[in-house]
Amino acid sequence: MSGAVAARIKRRSPLPYLFLAPTFVLLVVLTGYPLVRLLVMSTQKYGRAQVFGAPPEFVGLANYRAVLTDPTFWTVLARSAVFCVVNVAITMALGMLVALLLTKLGKFMRLTVTVGLLLAWAMPALTAIVIWGWMFDTQYGVLNWLLSAAGMNMLGHSWLIQPISFFFVATVVITWQSIPFVAFTLYAGLTQVPEELIEAAELDGASAFQRFRLITYPLLRPVIMLLTMLSVIWDLRVFTQIFALQDAGGITAKTSTIGVYIYQLGVAQGRFDTGSAIAVILVVIMLAVSFVYVRQVIQEDVS
């Protein structure tokens, strides 16, 4: 690697800046500028009247004060956090089990399972939620039919009108779609664990669980950390699934996560000021959460 660094010629050439210029301009205009406007709007009184031309008035941190003293905000934030933790835990646990299973399967079964996982992974999030919504349908849903056939009286049961079962459906869809990526990545990691180590431990009488805890887990730790990190980032900002389920007849008030809440305030109700304040808070939370990930990626670049 150091040879390549030494080979990077023309140290003072303007060329790299020229190459970066289009990216820079684009990101400044379409990410930087909106971000600045978001910050500004979050310190203004900005509602429907301002959209139609009334000059916005600066109110300092009043919007933030309003948000942070609003119990609804804290409820929504706590709900997002709990939902995220539950989904990440399920995704990681099941993903690990599927990855371990893949190492135990014969060639044919492994290919079969791989194709199945790929299909689930490839589904667009919205399509996935639409299909699961159809399978969970109150009247014609195949799941109510199956559960009734199995002896439970579920015909006509509505899944989306109670927060707990609403989030159960959301969790089913989200984990169904995120397990494949986790499983594939962990499987790729597992194939790199030296077999001799496992065999030696087996001869020494280590149980399957001990072998996993003492050999596989420590070796896979970097991958597991990275995947957990990415899953937290993805699940904390879940929007499409929750939004679409609310659309399909779920209750809005008790099921909004933070992204959906921003949409409801800022876009649907036109309260751009408080919506912006929450958006800024979300950006800060996301950057804090992803700090570990960003640092790891940058360290990789150095090594």
60 versus 140: smaller Cβ distance to other proteins: 140
218 binds other proteins, rule: CB under 8 A? no
110 binds other proteins, rule: CB under 8 A? yes
122 binds other proteins, rule: CB under 8 A? yes
Smallest distance from other proteins to CB 235, Å: 12
Smallest distance from other proteins to CB 70, Å: 17
Query: Which of residues 54, 74, 78, 134 is near other proteins by CB under 8 A?
Result: 134
- Give the separation between CA 280 and CA 258, rounded to whole angstroms: 12
167 versus 185: smaller Cβ distance to other proteins: 185
217 binds other proteins, rule: CB under 8 A? no
Q: How far is CA 233 from CA 6, 109, 288, in A?
A: 37, 32, 10
Q: Is 48 exposed, middle or buried (0-12, 13-18, 19+ CB in 10 A)?
A: exposed
267 binds other proteins, rule: CB under 8 A? yes
Number of residues that bind other proteins (CB under 8 A): 109
Query: Which of residues 90, 138, 239, 251 is near other proteins by CB under 8 A?
Result: 239
Which are the contacts of 138, defined by CB distance < 8 A and separation ≥ 6? 144, 156, 157, 158, 159
For other proteins, the binding residues in 73-102 under the rule CB under 8 A are 98, 101
For other proteins, the binding residues in 21-50 under the rule CB under 8 A are 22-23, 26-27, 30-31, 33-35, 37-38, 41
164 versus 298: smaller Cβ distance to other proteins: 298
86 versus 197: smaller Cβ distance to other proteins: 197
215 binds other proteins, rule: CB under 8 A? no
Q: Which stretch binds other proteins (CB under 8 A): 57-65, 70-78, 83-91, 233-241?
A: 233-241
Query: Which of residues 49, 68, 126, 152 is near other proteins by CB under 8 A?
Result: 126
Smallest distance from other proteins to CB 209, Å: 15
Query: Which of residues 119, 152, 161, 214 is near other proteins by CB under 8 A?
Result: 119
212 binds other proteins, rule: CB under 8 A? no
Smallest distance from other proteins to CB 272, Å: 6
Q: What binding mask, one character per residue, do residues 171-210 give for other proteins by CB under 8 A, x or -?
A: -----x---xx--xx-xxx--x----------xx------
Q: Is 186 exposed, middle or buried (0-12, 13-18, 19+ CB in 10 A)?
A: buried
How many C-beta neighbours within 10 Å does residue 301 have? Answer: 6
